Structure 1
């Protein structure tokens, strides 16, 4: 989608179960606003998860390094190719949009369905601004659709029982409809890869910040924590590749060892969180706090780096890695029962995400409470501060207030968009999932 083009864009309705999709679209092309309303109606009326898929021209400039690449033989790429081929036979709009092979596909999961995928995962997908956190050309800095394109529905695709499993291919669908085998595995794979890419993007940011902080601290113990966590990435990357090719995970991958290291880091993060919460609870109510007293429980809080901020980033890294592991476990669980594909995925994901959501929310609550504290002048015999002491107090107050910037304690669930760039050879790149603000 671009700012200036006013072309008609094909849009598919994708059901993840063998359900009747309400006929609420009409025959005329839709605006972007009408399409957003349609997703909400479908989510409310259908008893199975409903997604929409749009096909847009591939932008000239696209940073593919931020996504996960899959070759043309991968299940996701094959399911997408099947959908394109089948739709082009019966729709001139679809044939025109997909005829060149290259396109940028945008799958949108409605808020009602996205809520099933874990509160923290969805809440943390908001676009932040100019540092590569917005991808493609579909949304502006607020995450809002900016195009003038019209949307024409070209097909409704549903999964049909066991034939709609992760390994289903065209030609084995029930009732003689090859299209029925596409939606469930396509939605599952797109959501899984988009969430995994998003978590890995957060991992990369956390590693960059931790490295910078540790260069100032020279703290060997924290360096070891970072190395153990970052070393888990290789096992997770291999497991991701195998599962996305519908393979089986084995002990030789080292995923069990990686999960143990991540679990240990999460226990450390939960212990630190309890200590922070206790320290805040013990502060006198409605009274200013001295920096020295605050720094005993939050070491380095008044500095640019400091142990406290490093502990925050280590927790963020552990959460990001664990979200990738949880997604892998949910995919494996879903693929083990092809007849109950998306339901298994969402159920496993929601259950295992709860602990991470609570940890993330707890840390966010600590940061908000810290940012609201009033700092007191140091106690001493001298009645007047030196200019250096005044500057230190002002800098510390500013740094502590900024701890609450961008923190969302209980954000509303929004639609989630996953963009997939498809090349002429059928290979795809799936970009990090992004929350869509209406």
Structure 2
């Protein structure tokens, strides 16, 4: 992690509409804690989404393969370039921080705003390397913002809208906090960051499924995996076209991809109902024999197994569905630029409730399974054999670990979207992260 403790970096306050809020900060430097408080206050006072954007030095080592690359002519890159250029004219801090032409830009969307586009949309990914840790795109769980001093950038207006977003960029009403109205910039950053996050979860699910299916040799499950992963090319093409302001046509194959994803989600919901029914049928408060449990949850007592493959298939279908939802939201926002961000969040919310219910149901099944007490197999012998003891201990440990993968906390948190900008103006947007 880069040490930013001695860094003073500029921070912009971005609004998605022409709003006016009372001044809640002066012109002096801000600490990370003060900046977080400011975001919360502005989110509460304003009637339009407000985010902050920080400009940090670009770290020497960045794994760009984890993000989505956009050319310098893409709407997101152009909006960011306009903001940088205009701000440098009126702020010496911004001019110094952006003089190199490259940098790491970190947009933070407050929890209240993040909840508008789905509470389950951005969830942390557990890290196997550190107990309780999560995966991050560029920084660790503390984030770079915790080690920097921030200087607010003054009223730097950006040029008019670029890229079909249609919303005019400029300065909020005078007499208020310095807000730069930049709805297209916020929209594109959120859209690409969330899409990258969903694709990161897709990659993780594919890796797990592939490993499981190599052990199972289940052709039907392998077909399910192939059908879902085959949707990626159509989704990637549609993402690239929409983010460059094109229109999605039937030749892209997105309709067939959506059908495959919806079919997989239907299977996941049917399996969830069977799992819930099987758990409801178990005797309450009594130990469950391993053999009886594996009838409804095959392989639950092992590292592999059909049950675990079904879990990963559900996770894969959900991740792909989230990417499609982002595409639909961007498309609707570009077609109706007058209420750009409102359209975006409305479309995202439309399907999110069903996905969140599915994820919550799966998490509930995993929690219930992990709490079960296992019994030895029924038999005539009054004592355990060594093999029975070993199996029971292994099964108990593995079943209790199921709760580690359950996402039980869907509370909205601040969401960070990190953008690496190169000297040629091109950008790489990394997976959105919970702050």
TM-score normalised by the shorter chain: which range applies? Answer: over 0.9
Which residue in the other structure is 1:265 paired with?
264
Alpha-carbon offset, residue 167 of structure 1: 2.2
Using a 3 Å threshold, how does the CA distance of structure 1 residues 171 and 135 change in structure 2: closer, same or farther?
Answer: closer
Which residue in the other structure is 2:237 paired with?
238
SS of 1:119's equivalent in the other structure is: coil
Q: Which is worse superposed, 101-110 or 20-29?
A: 20-29
Which residue in the other structure is 1:167 paired with?
164
Alpha-carbon offset, residue 129 of structure 1: 6.4
Q: 2:362 & 2:142 partners in 1: Cα distance?
A: 25
The 5 A counterparts of 1:290-329 are: 290-329=289-328
The 5 A counterparts of 1:35-50 are: 35-50=35-50
In structure 1, the gaps of 5 or more residues are none
Which residue in the other structure is 2:208 paired with?
209
Using a 3 Å threshold, how does the CA distance of structure 1 residues 171 and 119 change in structure 2: closer, same or farther?
Answer: closer
| Aligned: 1:331 with 2:321 | no
Alpha-carbon offset, residue 164 of structure 1: 5.2
Alpha-carbon offset, residue 408 of structure 1: 2.6
Alpha-carbon offset, residue 290 of structure 1: 0.5
Q: What is the alpha-carbon root mean square deviation over aligned residues? A: 2.5
Which residue in the other structure is 2:371 paired with?
372
The 5 A counterparts of 1:117-196 are: 117-122=117-122, 124-125=123-124, 128=127, 130=129, 133-137=135-139, 140=140, 142-145=141-144, 147-155=146-154, 166-167=163-164, 183-196=182-195
Alpha-carbon offset, residue 418 of structure 1: 0.3
Using a 3 Å threshold, how does the CA distance of structure 1 residues 94 and 328 change in structure 2: closer, same or farther?
Answer: same
Using a 3 Å threshold, how does the CA distance of structure 1 residues 155 and 344 change in structure 2: closer, same or farther?
Answer: farther
Once the two structures are superposed, residues 203-254 of structure 1 have per-residue CA deviations (whole angstroms, 9 ceiling, x without a partner) of 0011111001000000100010001000000000000000001111101100
- Divergent runs of 4+, >2 A: 1-5, 125-133, 142-148, 155-160, 163-175, 179-182
Using a 3 Å threshold, how does the CA distance of structure 1 residues 215 and 172 change in structure 2: closer, same or farther?
Answer: closer
Which residue in the other structure is 2:285 paired with?
286
Alpha-carbon offset, residue 135 of structure 1: 2.3
Q: 2:168 & 2:368 partners in 1: Cα distance?
A: 58
Alpha-carbon offset, residue 117 of structure 1: 1.1
Q: Which is worse superposed, 408-417 or 62-71?
A: 408-417
SS of 1:405's equivalent in the other structure is: helix
- Is 1:14–1:158's contact at 8 Å kept on the other side of the alignment? no
Which residue in the other structure is 2:27 paired with?
27
- Is 2:170–2:181's contact at 8 Å kept on the other side of the alignment? no
Using a 3 Å threshold, how does the CA distance of structure 1 residues 334 and 171 change in structure 2: closer, same or farther?
Answer: closer
Q: 2:391 & 2:135 partners in 1: Cα distance?
A: 33
Q: 2:167 & 2:81 partners in 1: Cα distance?
A: 11
Using a 3 Å threshold, how does the CA distance of structure 1 residues 157 and 274 change in structure 2: closer, same or farther?
Answer: farther
| Aligned: 1:412 with 2:414 | no
Alpha-carbon offset, residue 130 of structure 1: 4.7
Which residue in the other structure is 1:70 paired with?
70
Q: 1:104 & 1:249 partners in 2: Cα distance?
A: 31
Using a 3 Å threshold, how does the CA distance of structure 1 residues 143 and 266 change in structure 2: closer, same or farther?
Answer: farther
The 5 A counterparts of 1:349-428 are: 349-428=348-427
Once the two structures are superposed, residues 134-176 of structure 1 have per-residue CA deviations (whole angstroms, 9 ceiling, x without a partner) of 1224xx3x4455643210110457899xx6585268999699x
Using a 3 Å threshold, how does the CA distance of structure 1 residues 345 and 413 change in structure 2: closer, same or farther?
Answer: same
- Is 1:13–1:157's contact at 8 Å kept on the other side of the alignment? no
- Is 2:71–2:425's contact at 8 Å kept on the other side of the alignment? yes
- Is 2:90–2:156's contact at 8 Å kept on the other side of the alignment? no
In structure 2, the gaps of 5 or more residues are none
Once the two structures are superposed, residues 97-148 of structure 1 have per-residue CA deviations (whole angstroms, 9 ceiling, x without a partner) of 00110100000000000011101113x23564659921224xx3x4455643
Alpha-carbon offset, residue 180 of structure 1: 9.3
Using a 3 Å threshold, how does the CA distance of structure 1 residues 172 and 306 change in structure 2: closer, same or farther?
Answer: closer
Alpha-carbon offset, residue 21 of structure 1: 3.9
Alpha-carbon offset, residue 377 of structure 1: 1.4
Which residue in the other structure is 1:18 paired with?
18
Q: 1:378 & 1:366 partners in 2: Cα distance?
A: 23
Using a 3 Å threshold, how does the CA distance of structure 1 residues 184 and 299 change in structure 2: closer, same or farther?
Answer: same
